[in-house]
Chains A and B, each alone.
Chain A
Amino acid sequence: MADNATLTDIDHVNDVKDVTAKTGVTGERIPTVIADRVDIVYRVNGTSAGRGSATAALNRIVRRKKTEKASGVRTVHAVRNVSFVAYKGEAIGLIGTNGSGKSTLLKAVAGLLPVENGKIYTDGQPSLLGVNAALMSDLTGERNVHLGGLAMGMTREQIKERYQEIVDFSGINEKGDFISLPMRTYSSGMGSRLRFSIAAAKDHDVLLIDEALATGDAKFRQRSADRIRAMREHAGTVFLVSHSNSSIRETCERVLWLERGELRMDGPTEEVLKEYEAFTEPKKKPRPAKA
């Protein structure tokens, strides 16, 4: 592939950039998350040409020693050799086009997805803002608040204490007593508001937010943006994945730009966003970069 030449070139860029640039200038800053040449690979079963047929499956078993593709296991290299250092008090935006590995990287930082190569060091336990997977649509909103809180590691007392706050914040009960109805009866907006409210109820050291700002109506978006700002003050470091450049600008002072799993740029928000916007601008024809 033509990529290889640039790949090796990129590798060391990612490695050294932060360390020398940041610790060199201000040795005092305390790192909270360090990603050291991180690779993340997904393996997907049963993707070869004759995936469904029994003969294809048998063939796979008989010819064990074949390449991964022939054996029906496809690997997806979601994050390639990414290194960065995040410091206490920073709010870092993660941007990139769809499928560039942003969410995957975030999950690896949270320790939820094993890395293939490299290491991620963290201060305490970073937590992903999101409890969707723990909630059950057949249960009432009320029970889901309890279940979600417990799933995030809150104690029963903490949940009891914050229960009213969570319900009020979600605004679920503004149009009637919806909190005692099963979540499957909620509109998608109501559901995501409750989910965000549950997720935002916990205090986090390192907070990882994946597209959470895009939920709900304008009023709720404003409220959740305020909530995230408040959480930032408590949390040591905030990571925000978003496709909304404006919410990145509002929240973050530093931006990591991932493209095809590689870290393309790491720097102050304005600098990176300027490049990124130029990259994603669909209309303009690319001009040769001659002065």
Chain B
Amino acid sequence: MRSVRKRGPTAWEPEARTPTPRVKAADVSQVLHTPPQARAEAREDLAALAARHGLSVSGARPSLPEYVRQLWARRHFITAFATAKLTSQYSQAKLGQVWQVMTPLLNAAVYYFIFGVLLQTKKNVPDYIPFLVTGVFIWTFTQSSIMAGTKAISGNIGLVRALHFPRAALPLSFCLQQLQQLLFSMAALVMILLVVGVPPALSWLLAVPVLVLQFTFNAGVSMILARLGAKTPDIAQLMPFVLRTWMYISGVMWSIDVLLSEHSDLPTWVADVLRANPTAVYIDLMRFALIDSFRADNLPPHVWATAVGWALLAGVGGFIYFWKAEETYGRG
């Protein structure tokens, strides 16, 4: 029930009205300010008034070029937010930033113990340790980018509701944070490579274009899942299972090449799917760049074209898909 009550007469209250306890103050001001029949014109008047003075609709979605421009204007925010997230991550731990390198190394150690030692996946794969560690690090980059992207909007609803910025800044920033994290891991990887005796080579420079392509792919997929996750937060519960399945078919700890040569009876479409898998492509390219015993004939055919294709498809498609719902982010 409504508990609105008048508290007694006021000087400016019109005599003609007999105020009941439920009469609202607004009724009174209506009598003061306006004739009641002005209703119809007034409705159009507000929109017309806005148009006459060149006012724009608040919170409307900007055009795609304008959106890109806004996003570019916020590039410093995107990088600062990513770095801030990264450094605040371990700031309460005693070892602090050492964990940036320790966490991926421990991860790789666990996978080495299970797949290398217990399951003997390492036979037929030369330089198994760098092979495995590269796989784990590159895979983790995609996995954590996508996980972070899924929660980019739904987990930062306070930020979305408090400040005005192109929302794509959030998934992009989280992917950038993962890229920075990966660079720490790569430093650890270089140490491992040198320790196990892989010679430094000019081909290591190929790691840069591979990372650029993989980052574009990750950002695109993150934006798609950011939009899905904003609407249906349940996606975040489902993603770990999807990602784990994806990991096991991506040849992170086993060689797709060795599998296909050992099982030549497999239907060709299986081989095609395994080789076209974007994460498998990025992982193999990085192995090709870093490990000397991983040669070009271990790579699937048209590998660079596939890598560029996936990056463009996911990057451009994901960005447009995310932008299409720009004005709806932040709804409860």
Query: Chain A residues near B35 (CB, 8 Å)?
Result: 20
Partner of B164, one of A32, A111, A279: A111
Residue A52 interfacial (CB < 8 Å): no
- The answer for the CA separation of A237 and B162 in the assembled complex, in Å, is 19
Interface size on A, residues (CB 8 A): 86
Residue B208 interfacial (CB < 8 Å): no
Residue A122 interfacial (CB < 8 Å): yes
- The answer for the CA separation of A32 and B56 in the assembled complex, in Å, is 10
Name B residues whose Cβ lies closer than 8 Å to a Cβ of A. Answer: 1-2, 4-10, 12-13, 15, 19, 21-27, 29-30, 33-36, 38-39, 42-43, 45-47, 49-50, 53-60, 73-74, 76-77, 80-81, 84-85, 87-88, 91-92, 156, 158-165, 233, 327-328, 330-332
- The answer for the CA separation of A36 and B47 in the assembled complex, in Å, is 7
Q: In the complex the two chains form, is A139's CB within 8 Å of B84's CB? A: yes
Query: Chain A residues near B47 (CB, 8 Å)?
Result: 36, 119, 121
Looking at A39-47, A62-70, A163-171, A172-180, the stretch in contact with chain B turns out to be A39-47
A84-128 interface with B by 8 A CB criterion:
85, 107-115, 119-123, 125-128
Supposing A111-B164, A274-B10, A289-B9 touch, asked if A139 and B88 sit within 8 A by C-beta, the answer is yes
Q: In the complex the two chains form, is B1's CB within 8 Å of A265's CB? A: no
Residue A218 interfacial (CB < 8 Å): no
Q: A30-B53, A151-B77, A274-B10 are in contact. List 8 more A-B contacts (CB 8 A).
A: A31-B50, A112-B160, A112-B162, A112-B163, A122-B58, A143-B84, A153-B73, A265-B29
Query: Chain B residues near A110 (CB, 8 Å)?
Result: 58-59, 164
Q: In the complex the two chains form, is A13's CB within 8 Å of B7's CB? A: no
Q: In the complex the two chains form, is A259's CB within 8 Å of B27's CB? A: no
Query: Chain B residues near A133 (CB, 8 Å)?
Result: 156, 158-159, 161-163
In the assembled complex, the CB of A22 is this many whole angstroms from the nearest CB of chain B, namely 9
Q: In the complex the two chains form, is B42's CB within 8 Å of A288's CB? A: no
Query: Chain B residues near A36 (CB, 8 Å)?
Result: 43, 46-47, 50
A141-188 interface with B by 8 A CB criterion:
143, 146-147, 150-153, 155-156, 182
- The answer for the CA separation of A12 and B85 in the assembled complex, in Å, is 49
Main secondary structure on chain A at its contact with chain B?
A: mixed
A-B contact count (CB 8 A): 223
Residue A226 interfacial (CB < 8 Å): no
Supposing A112-B330, A126-B58, A151-B77 touch, asked if A107 and B161 sit within 8 A by C-beta, the answer is yes
- The answer for the CA separation of A121 and B56 in the assembled complex, in Å, is 5
- The answer for the CA separation of A132 and B9 in the assembled complex, in Å, is 44
In the assembled complex, the CB of B289 is this many whole angstroms from the nearest CB of chain A, namely 34
CB-based nearest A residue for B55: A121
In the assembled complex, the CB of B84 is this many whole angstroms from the nearest CB of chain A, namely 5
A-B contact pairs, 15 of them (CB 8 A): A2-B2, A6-B24, A15-B46, A32-B55, A36-B46, A109-B58, A111-B164, A112-B160, A113-B330, A119-B50, A125-B164, A128-B162, A130-B162, A151-B77, A279-B4
Q: In the complex the two chains form, is A42's CB within 8 Å of B26's CB? A: no
In the assembled complex, the CB of A282 is this many whole angstroms from the nearest CB of chain B, namely 12
Q: In the complex the two chains form, is A114's CB within 8 Å of B87's CB? A: no
In the assembled complex, the CB of B37 is this many whole angstroms from the nearest CB of chain A, namely 9
Residue A56 interfacial (CB < 8 Å): no
In the assembled complex, the CB of A236 is this many whole angstroms from the nearest CB of chain B, namely 12
Partner of A275, one of B25, B74, B156: B25
Query: Chain B residues near A121 (CB, 8 Å)?
Result: 46-47, 50, 55-58
Q: In the complex the two chains form, is B43's CB within 8 Å of A287's CB? A: no
Query: Chain B residues near A239 (CB, 8 Å)?
Result: none
CB-based nearest A residue for B35: A20
Query: Chain A residues near B162 (CB, 8 Å)?
Result: 112, 128, 130-134
In the assembled complex, the CB of B91 is this many whole angstroms from the nearest CB of chain A, namely 4
- The answer for the CA separation of A227 and B107 in the assembled complex, in Å, is 52
Q: In the complex the two chains form, is B7's CB within 8 Å of A286's CB? A: yes
Partner of A114, one of B42, B50, B331: B331
- The answer for the CA separation of A113 and B330 in the assembled complex, in Å, is 6
Q: In the complex the two chains form, is A147's CB within 8 Å of B80's CB? A: yes
Residue A290 interfacial (CB < 8 Å): yes
Per-residue B-contact encoding for A262-275, CB less than 8 Å = 1, 0 else: 11111100010011
Supposing A13-B29, A114-B59, A150-B80 touch, asked if A286 and B21 sit within 8 A by C-beta, the answer is yes
Query: Chain A residues near B50 (CB, 8 Å)?
Result: 31, 34, 36, 119, 121
- The answer for the CA separation of A10 and B36 in the assembled complex, in Å, is 11
Q: In the complex the two chains form, is A21's CB within 8 Å of B34's CB? A: yes
Q: In the complex the two chains form, is A112's CB within 8 Å of B164's CB? A: yes
Query: Chain A residues near B77 (CB, 8 Å)?
Result: 147, 150-151, 153
Q: In the complex the two chains form, is A34's CB within 8 Å of B164's CB? A: no
A33-61 interface with B by 8 A CB criterion:
33-34, 36-37, 42-45
In the assembled complex, the CB of A127 is this many whole angstroms from the nearest CB of chain B, namely 6
CB-based nearest A residue for B81: A147
Query: Chain A residues near B165 (CB, 8 Å)?
Result: 151, 153
Q: In the complex the two chains form, is A34's CB within 8 Å of B76's CB? A: no
In the assembled complex, the CB of A271 is this many whole angstroms from the nearest CB of chain B, namely 8
Query: Chain B residues near A31 (CB, 8 Å)?
Result: 49-50, 53, 55
Supposing A36-B47, A275-B10, A287-B8 touch, asked if A147 and B331 sit within 8 A by C-beta, the answer is no
Query: Chain A residues near B84 (CB, 8 Å)?
Result: 136, 139, 143, 147
Indicate the member of A115, A126, A138, A262 with the most B CB atoms within 10 Å. Answer: A138
Residue A3 interfacial (CB < 8 Å): yes
Query: Chain A residues near B29 (CB, 8 Å)?
Result: 13, 17, 265-267
- The answer for the CA separation of A150 and B156 in the assembled complex, in Å, is 17
Supposing A16-B34, A19-B49 touch, asked if A139 and B55 sit within 8 A by C-beta, the answer is no
CB-based nearest A residue for B30: A13
